[in-house]
Chain A
């Protein structure tokens, strides 16, 4: 099963993509981006009232939600967000303490995974050059669809050095970029609990569809 673990709808301030735009695109482009589901990770926010079940049924695409928060070690994706987590952390705070986020999110039933680690300033690699490594990180975003040349390549060294698992996400902010990088899981994922369990304990790998999309566009 293939999920794009990192995407932003127009609920995020820098995205232009409506959720239904993503779903129409994936339905139309399934031969190029064979994605079974997406995880929406809006910047610095969590809206408890959003319900995408109708859209899931209509488009037959799994839609899960997480969040992307900002910390002193760069940006971190949160999966398994719940009321306790949102009570514990102010997601809009751009200076969250990364170690606290990683440790507490795990205790509260989720998983915190640094994204685009190879990116300057907001990626984990640069912070590890002059700060102690975080404890309790299990996985990082090994493949980010928005990364510039060299950024994803740095992550391989990080994973090797610290034994992190790697997953992939498009980091889409435009409709046509959804699913270009994603994660292939060995087991099926139907809800956020499945996702957290598989990210913690399961078998998965980052998958890259950018080249075939590029080739199709000529």
Chain B
């Protein structure tokens, strides 16, 4: 995965309505294949364009778990060392290799909890030209 990110910033400094630092990335075909082998999720549609087309798809696609992993990385980048308690996602379109994408998030709720803060975030994975691929939410606990 080729990706670009700025220096990590603590989510604890963020407030309701603030954006998480976005993550720009492009998945390469080999990386998707490597991921599904590591995740023991091997299926032809995740390995090659031919495999995807055999399943009636436009070509190779990334598995949903990989999109969740991208969301997890986005949250981890925003809150290094924090506890990611929950990630939910709705898969709206195929995530495909060689497509420049942006993972972004925004804080939609902050609650004080014993020993820290609980952050609710909207999460989105979209192409650079704005097509939404995966949307979701994340819950992160930051100890203070």
Structural contact, B88 and A149, CB atoms closer than 8 A: no
Given known contacts A14-B90, A16-B88, A175-B108, A28 and B132 CB-to-CB distance under 8 angstroms: no
Instruction: Collect the chain B residues with CB atoms within 8 Å of residue A148's CB.
Output: 93, 131-132
Residues of chain B in range 87-126 having any CB-CB distance to chain A below 8 Å: 88, 90, 93, 104, 106, 108-109, 120, 122, 124
**Which of chain B's residues has its CB closest to A18's CB?**
B109
CB <8 Å contact, A176 and B108: yes
Residue of B nearest to A20 (CB): B109
B60 at the A interface (CB under 8 A) = no
Does A209 make an interface contact (CB < 8 A)? no
Residue of A nearest to B92 (CB): A146
Indicate if B17 sits at the interface (CB-CB under 8 A): yes
The residues of B that contact A149 with a CB separation of less than 8 Å are: 129-131
Q: How large is the interface on B (under 10, 10 to 19, 20 to 34, 35 or more residues)?
A: 20 to 34
Interface size range on A against B: 10 to 19
CB–CB B129/A25 < 8 A = no
A149 CA / B104 CA spacing, docked (Å):
19
Interface code A70-110, partner B: CB below 8 Å = 1, 0 otherwise? 00000000000000000000000000000000000000000
Q: Find chain B residues with CB under 8 A from A175 CB.
A: 108-109, 122
Smallest CB separation, B46 vs chain A (Å): 24
Instruction: Give bound CA distance, A177 to B93, whole Å.
Output: 18
Q: How many Å lie between the Cα of A218 and that of B24 in the bound state? A: 14
Q: A22 — nearest CB in chain B belongs to which residue?
A: B108
Query: By DSSP majority rule, is chain B's interface helix, strand, loop, or mixed?
Result: strand
Instruction: Name the residue in A148, A149, A217 with the highest tally of chain B Cβ atoms < 10 Å from its Cβ.
Output: A148
Q: Which of A16, A146, A148, A173 has its CB near the most chain B CB atoms (within 10 A)?
A: A16
Within 8 A of B (CB), among A1-43: 14, 16, 21, 24-25, 28-29
Contacts of B137 in A (CB 8 A): 16, 174
Complex CA distance for A53 and B33, rounded to whole angstroms: 52
| B67 within 8 A of partner (CB) | no
The reply to whether A176 and B90 contact each other, CB–CB distance below 8 Å, is no
A21 and chain B: residue at smallest CB distance? B108
Q: Does B135 contact A (CB under 8 A)?
A: yes
Chain A residues, Cβ within 8 Å of B122: 16, 174-177
Of the residues B16, B19, B136, contact of A16 by C-beta under 8 Å: B136
Is there an interface contact between A174 and B109, defined as CB atoms closer than 8 Å?
A: no
Question: With A21-B109, A149-B129 given, is the CB distance from A174 to B16 under 8 Å?
Answer: no
Which single member of B17, B19, B93, B135 contacts A174 (CB below 8 Å)? Answer: B135
Chain A to chain B: the 5 pairs with minimum beta-carbon distance, closest first: A175-B108, A16-B137, A176-B122, A174-B122, A176-B106
Binding site for A on B (CB under 8 A): 16-17, 19, 88, 90, 93, 104, 106, 108-109, 120, 122, 124, 129-132, 135-137
A173-B90, A175-B122 known, 5 other contacts, Cβ within 8 Å? A16-B90, A25-B17, A28-B17, A174-B108, A177-B122
The 19 listed contacts between A and B (C-beta, < 8 Å) are A14-B90, A16-B88, A16-B90, A16-B137, A21-B108, A24-B16, A146-B132, A148-B93, A148-B131, A149-B130, A174-B124, A174-B135, A175-B108, A175-B109, A175-B122, A176-B122, A177-B122, A217-B19, A217-B104
